[in-house]
Structure 1
Amino acid sequence: MEERKIFIDIDELKSGMVLAQHIVNKNGVFLLFEGFEFKEIEKIKEMLLSHNIHNLKVIVKEGMDDTYTKEYFQIYDFRQNMNELINDIKHKFYCIESGEEVNREDFEKTIEIAIRSCNGSVSLFKLMNKIKDMEDYIYMHSMNSSLISYQIGKWLDLKEEELKELTLSAILSDLGKMKVSKEIINKPNILTYEEYLEVKKHSIFGYKLIKGSNCINNKIKRAVLEHHERIDGSGYPRGIKGDEISLYAKIIGIADVYSALTSKRPHRDRNTPFEAIKILEEEFVSKLDTKILYLFLKKVAAEYLGSEIILNDGRTAKIVFIPSQNICKPLIEMEENGEVVDLGSNQNSKLYIKEFIL
């Protein structure tokens, strides 16, 4: 049985866990020593809280209860990796903004680490669905967009070098937001028209920051500039349309919208993957490349086949079938009685997926 050292919130403390590092209060007094086995949980919690200690590092065993499964540890590792990678990207963005040369090899190492962290039993989209509460939205969004773009690129059978270029383009796509006012970027309410116009400049800002780089080729620079262009010409900054838009920019456009829809923002809650699929089908079919979009929607929906879900009425169920039409309304099997329910039928029009268990 595998043992793991993990950081937990004090509310997650359970009997049988072993302390992985000493706990010392603000005055330097040792409260508990490494190797201490937790038994009288409530007394320990009360003591730790009295010293304003809210999290700790413990040793847990895989399978010690229903929580600590292989899937739990993959999600935990993914979260830890994303925290480190986000800090890494943040540092790189600040360096570029200050005028330093872009080091493509360093970015590619970051990409490789991110991709490796997704290679487990839990799919990328389920992993991302589990860590949407992370802070640093811009940098998390850059990571999400890059990983989603990479996955789309694989589905499109892009070559290895093209996948690297695409993924780097996606990471750099929000670089220009470093030049947008932080008050606007972090505004908790819906942006005014003038503020939105300012945010739209980030594509040009980002392009200008990498324009003179010898390490970044023109395909990547072009994708950074065009990732908000739309097939119908309604995008920005140039309002180009159709095949005037580069392939990388078309892919990143889809990844960008999906990531934004499924992330929590100050002015709205996040959408579930199937809510995002519905919005993409209804509002973006004329704006994003149709062929790539429908490939993406079908592939993402298929990732959730067999997933346990919670409905808006509180009942739990499992996704058992994804229709080729109306993808956002799968067939589900109710946990309470095994009944198969079609979320796409008129009689179930008020039912929808509220959350995924995993």
Structure 2
Amino acid sequence: MPIIPIAQVQAGDRLGSDVQTALGSVLLQQGRTLSERDAEILQAFLIPSVDIRRNGLEEPDNVTAADEIAVTTSEVKLTLLQQEFLNVEKLLKRIMSMFSSGLKLPVLDLRNGLNSLLECMDEYNILTFVAPPSSGPTDVMVRNSVFCAMTSYQLAKWNKFSEKDLLPIAMAGLLHDIGNVRVDSTILNKPSHLTPEEIQEMRQHTVYGFRLLEGSTSMNQGVWLAALQHHERIDGSGYPMKVKGEKIHPYAKIVAIADMYHAMTSNRNYRKAESPYLVLEELHAGSFGKLEPLYVQTFIERTTQFHNGVFVKLNNGSIGEIVFSDRNHPTRPMVSINGDIINLGQNRQLFICEVFSTK
């Protein structure tokens, strides 16, 4: 395949082979269709040239039409987890429409859909998983709920919940915001900050959700309570009932962490997404009197575990590779940038603002 200087790389080019860093890690994988951001990453890592497959570039004689088809197919093929993510996203949209029409919750469909998603969870990495584009208009709340189902399930496993609790906890994550179907859509989609009256109405989604779910007798009651209590805090400062500590159901404590993480790391009408690593730091700070400390500690430790070799962007625009993570400061690893090691634990003014997937 043609090897071209990095300055000639264009958005839409396909990589003919893996691109590696000076440390030998795979920066971008073979077959990837390059974006403008990818070109910036290549330049940041001082990659001089890359193998490129592009229409109009001379190809070797042994490249066949079948090869072209195979590469094209691999570009658009979703992973099994991504496909099941879309399936559950469609299912939740259908459930919300049914609730809006006064119909009952299709519990069997919900269980089957979630089970198919959970069977693929070995692929799931909270920091680097890339959700595929929605098949229709993207509903941020729906997408956040699917993420919450996955992350709640993962967090419950990490915290040694029993096997019989795992599916209900995933269901709790998926349905925790279902009460929003009863909230005025103009409030849900308002691009600016809400008035005090609108905030009070928005907070009622917890009660609405509980009332929608409590009639589903074949569903674990923890799912109902997670819808009601996922905004409660262990010091009693949450809502809607200001309950404290052990009065908050364990499912709700798990879902609260997943909900906060994904809400803060996704774009909203009124603000941009925050850095995943900064959000983890905020969750750590929030664990004192607000969230279940043990669950938060486990979430941070396990989410950042085995991230050596992951490529990240810092808030000063530099792009580098995580080379060492300190268990005492998991959100502030050492990052290699053009051969220089930056210790984020010591350079507190710098932080990770973006995590890249190389796939």
CA contact (8 A) 2:85 2:131 kept: no
Q: Is the 8 A contact 1:97 1:209 kept in 2?
A: no
State the distance in 2 between where 1:274 and 1:129 align.
19
- Are 1:61 and 2:70 counterparts? yes
* Structure 1 residue 128 displacement after superposition: 4.4
Distance 1:182 1:94, change over 3 A: same
Shift of 1:112: 1.9
Matches within 5 A, 1:220-239: 220-239=223-242
Q: Tell me which residue corresponds to 1:12.
A: 12
CA pair 277-127 structure 1, distance change in 2 beyond 3 A: same
- The residue aligned with 2:318 is 315
Q: Which amino acid aligns with 1:233?
A: G
Q: Where in structure 1 are there 5+ consecutive unaligned residues?
A: 1-10, 18-37, 42-57
Deviations 1:264-294 (A, max 9, x none): 1111111121011121122443210011111
CA contact (8 A) 1:15 1:40 kept: no
Do residues 127 (structure 1) and 129 (structure 2) align? yes
Matching of residue 163 in structure 1 with residue 138 in structure 2? no
Q: Give 1:353's aligned amino acid.
A: I
Task: Give matches, 1:131-150, under 5 Å.
Answer: 135-150=138-153
Query: Is 1:254 matched with 2:257?
Result: yes
Mapped partners of 2:270, 2:157: distance in 1: 33
Residue aligned with 2:168, SS:
helix
Shift of 1:124: 4.1
Q: Distance in 2 between matches of 1:199 and 1:225?
A: 13
C-alpha contact (below 8 Å) 1:223/1:248 kept by paired residues:
yes
Pick one of 305, 308, 314 that aligns with 1:305. Answer: 308
Residue of 190, 214, 219 corresponding to 2:217: 214
| Aligned equivalent of 2:110 | 107
Code of the residue aligned with 2:197 in structure 1: it is: E
CA-CA distance at 1:79 after TM superposition: 4.4
Confirm whether residue 89 of structure 1 aligns to residue 98 of structure 2.
no
Task: Name the amino acid aligned to 2:128.
Answer: K
2:351 maps to 352
Q: SS of the counterpart of 1:287? A: coil
Q: What is the CA-CA distance between 1:130 and the residue it aligns to? A: 8.1
Query: 1:230–1:241: 8 Å Cα contact kept in structure 2?
Result: yes
CA contact 1:305–1:321 (8 Å) conserved in 2: yes
Q: Distance in 1 between matches of 2:91 and 2:68?
A: 27
Q: Distance in 2 between matches of 1:258 and 1:15?
A: 33
Q: Deviations over 1:187-240 (max 9, x none)?
A: 111222221111110010011112222222322222221111111101111100
Partner of 1:341: 342
- TM-score, scaled relative to structure 1: 0.75
Q: SS of the residue aligned with 1:356?
A: strand
- Residue 142 and residue 303 in structure 1: after superposition, are their counterparts in 2 closer, same or farther (change >3 A)? farther
Quote the Cα distance in structure 2 between the aligned partners of 1:60 and 1:342: 45
SS of equivalent to 2:122? coil
Among candidates 324, 330, 335, match of residue 332 of structure 1: 335
Contact (CA 8 Å) 1:229, 1:245: kept in 2 or not? yes
Q: 102-111 or 224-233: which moved more?
A: 102-111
The yes-or-no answer on 1:276 pairing with 2:279 is yes
Answer yes or no: is the 8 Å Cα contact 1:78–1:127 preserved in 2: no
CA shift, 1:81, in A, is: 3.8
Residue 353 of structure 2 aligns to a residue whose secondary structure is strand
Deviation at 1:160, TM superposition (A): 2.2
Greater relative CO, 1 or 2 (CA 8 Å, sep 6+)? 2
Which runs of 5 or more residues in structure 2 are unaligned? 1-10, 17-30, 32-53, 58-66
After superposition, the Cα gap between the structure-2 partners of 1:229 and 1:314, relative to the gap in structure 1 and judged at 3 Å, is same
Give me the TM-score of the superposition, normalised by structure 2: 0.75
For 1:242, the equivalent position in structure 2 comes to 245
Assess, with a 3 A threshold, how the Cα gap between structure 1 residues 130 and 210 changes in structure 2: closer, same or farther. Answer: closer
CA RMSD for the aligned pairs?
A: 3.1
Report deviation, 1:344: 1.5
Distance (whole Å) between structure 1 residues aligned to residue 13 and residue 81 of structure 2: 21
When structure 1 is superposed on structure 2, of 82-91 and 273-282 the one drifting more is: 82-91
Matched residue, 1:30: none
SS at match of 2:335: strand
State the 1:323 CA deviation.
2.2
Partner of 1:299, secondary structure, is helix
Cα distance in 1 for partners of 2:284, 2:233 equals 15
Checking the alignment, whether the CA contact within 8 Å between 1:128 and 1:144 is kept in structure 2 is no
Q: CA deviation at 1:80?
A: 4.5
Query: Using the alignment, how far apart are the partners of 1:288 and 1:88 within structure 2?
Result: 30
